[in-house]
Structure formats: C-alpha cells, structure tokens
Amino acid sequence: MTDPTENPATARFQEYLRIRSIHPEPDYDGIRRFLFKMAEEIGLESRTLEFVPGKPIFILTWPGTQPHLKSVILNSHTDVVPVFEEFWTFPPFSAHKDEDGNIYARGTQDMKSVTIQYLEAVRQLKAEGVRFPRTIHLTMVPDEEIGGHTGMEIFAEHPEFRALNPGITLDEGLANPSDEFSVFYGEKCVWWITVHCRGDPGHGSRFIENTAASKLHSVINRFLELREKEKRRLQSSPGLTLGDVTTVNMTKVNGGVSCNVIPTEMSATFDLRIPPTVNLQEFESQIEGWCRGAGDQVTWEYHQKCMNERITTPDDSNPWWKAFSDPCKELGLKLKPEIFPAATDSRYVRTAGYNALGFSPMNNTPILLHDHNEYLNEGVFLRGIEIYKRIIPSLAAVAPLDGEQEH
C-alpha cells in the first residue's frame, strides 16, 4: 500500500521498485503497466517495440517544438539482477524505508532510481508549461543485466532507433562514495576469451612431457602477470581510476577426467576489460603471442570481443557535454569524468555512432549495485530529480548544430 504521507515522487519510486523485474523471469508486463500509467498522468506519448518476443522496449515521448532537430534520449533498463534474500535485512522487493531515509530494494541504484528521476523531472517541467525545441524520448529497455543482446544491442542498430534522431543519450552511471558525481564518457572493451591447451596424456605417476597442464600454466602466468602489473599501476597512480587500467580475471578452469590420469585437454577462461587508451590490435597480438609461446596445440576462442573504442568527448568543444556540464556547475556539483569500469548499454549506443553519457546522480553513496542490501537514500534520490530538472532543459535547448537545418 502507498503511504499517503509519503513524498509522491518517493512513493512512485517505491511502487516501481516493488515490481519484480528480476531475472530469469522479469515482470515486464508489470513494468509496462506502471510506465504507461506514468505516461498518461504526465501527458507523454507511449508505445512499445518488441524485436525479440517477450522483450519489450518502451518509449515515452515529449515532442519538441522543432522536431527535425536531433533528440535527447533518456535511457534506462527495466531489469534487475537476482537476489539472495537470506542476506537482506529487509525483503528485497519491499522498498522499505528506514528511519535514516534509506530505501532498500533491488534496483534502487541499478537503475530504477534513474528511471523515476527522469519521469519526475519531466513531470515537473511539463506541469510548469515549458516547451523545448528538441524532442525528448524516454526509452526503457530489457535485459541489460544479461548483456543487452535482446535489448539495446538490437535497438541501437535498428531503423526504429535511428528514427528517434538521437543527438545525445543519457544512461546509467555509478554511485560515488565521495562528494563528486561520476559521469562516464566511454567504456572499456569487454573481451571474454577461452584458451584450450592439448597435450600428451598418461599415468599420474609419471613425468609426462608436453602436457596440457604445462601449457595452460604458461598461459595463466602471462594473463595473471598482466593483472598484477595493471593492479600495481592503479595503486601507484592516484590520478587513475579503475576505468583507466585493464582488468584481468580468470573466471573458469576446465579439464581432467580422473585423479590419476593426465588429461589430454585443459582450458581457462579470462574476463578482460580494456580501456579505450589501449591499441586493441597490438593487445590482441600480445595475447596470441602468449598462446603460441605456450607450445603446440594451443588454440583460443573469443566469446565476446568488443573492438569499438568510441568515446563522447568530455569537454566544451562538444556542445552536448557543455549542455550537460553547465547546469551541473551552476548547481555546484563536482563532476568526475571517467571511463566506465564495466559495461552498460551505452556501449551499443556509441558503437552505433551516437553520443552517450553515463550518469546516475548519486554522490556520498556507497556503490551497492548487485550487492546485498542495495539501497539509496531518499534525500539523494530527490536531489537527483532536481539535477535532472536542470540538465534535461539544457540538453533539449541546445542550439541547432552543423547539419541540422533550421525550419
């Protein structure tokens, strides 16, 4: 039940959090009902796209006065990751608010808060009777938490996305434990690679030469040496963030059939996140050299291999950045431009050739996405609405750019 004494924006946030859009079976129909109800209340156009059955994309639109101009897209994802309820202080879909104003629920930070902040900022702006030259689209996409392959990856390359005439897309960022607000202008390239090593089998009591294990040992050493090198570089350079270094983690090891049989094949899988400052062709050659150097019968396969290093320029030469950052400066916000350390749907938007910035207005907040007891303080949430209420008009009023004909 909605508490009648609750701040209306907070109450709507809690209502949205209570929808169990959790994998493996997100309640996308419940999301649709909620979002379309919000659209009707606010006065936004609404429609649904579905490129993959059961994976709906919702679009809420506020037409601009000059609809030929490139639009402002406010993107968010509707799904959330699974929970381990036994580790939560409050039920993870109760949206419980404690005496300190902390709202506990899966999705408070990642990223249902941002969806509601968009909606509440637009609600207030429309209620004030203002209009903007550029059209504003709110896009809510599925399945980001399982890679976005059935959501934004398809959408960003589809004619329906191009028809939105994107100029700038805002998407999720991260909480920041300090006074600063993180804003992400690029993302690391995600590489998932499995190295397969074949060798001579034999009895576990003998010193067999040319084993799969010895080759795998060589490969693992090379990857983990890079891991330690990058870790030391991050720790010894205060100006660097996690987004500035290559992370390497061994995530799977397979092989063997019995305790006393030397196996014919063993393999290891690695998760690499590579910043856009790295020459990917040279890096790929380095990995191939490690594999070839381990011996014969060593092969490798990529499960994911992003080769796009496009960024959105984070300085005033980019009118979209200026329109984003100027109102933040006016509000006294300390922006920290960064490379995102993991992956969001923004990577698909940038790959398709469009500008994108990742921003979740949550400072003085611990990073709790995917964690037990994920929460967001009500004051931080409400402050985020005010921040978007300044950013959205600034973006939607950007003067016509080169190539945008005046009508």
Let me know how long the chain is: 407
Quote the CA–CA distance of 149 and 345 in Å, as a whole number: 9
Q: Which of 110, 144, 244, 338 is catalytic?
A: 144
Quote the CA–CA distance of 313 and 323 in Å, as a whole number: 13
Q: Which of 79, 143, 172, 230 is catalytic?
A: 79
* Annotated catalytic residue 144: yes
Quote the CA–CA distance of 262 and 75 in Å, as a whole number: 52
Identify the bridge partners of residue 247 per DSSP, sorted by sequence position: 273
- In the DSSP assignment, the letter for residue 399 is P
Cis peptide before 24 (omega within 30 of 0): yes
* Annotated catalytic residue 79: yes
SS3 at position 402: coil
In the block, which residue shows the tokens 């609600």?
Answer: 123
Distance of CA 138 to the CA centre of its chain: 16
Q: Which of 352, 347, 353, 377 is nearest to 365 (CA)?
A: 377
Secondary structure in 3-state letters for 377-400: EHHHHHHHHHHHHHHHHHHHCCCC
Greatest Cα pair distance, the chain, in angstroms, is 83
Quote the CA–CA distance of 289 and 345 in Å, as a whole number: 32
Angstrom distances, CA of residue 301 to CA of 153, 191, 227, 266, 284? 22, 10, 20, 14, 12
In this structure, are residues 293 and 306 in contact, taking their beta carbons and an 8 Å threshold? no
Instruction: List active site positions.
Output: 79, 144
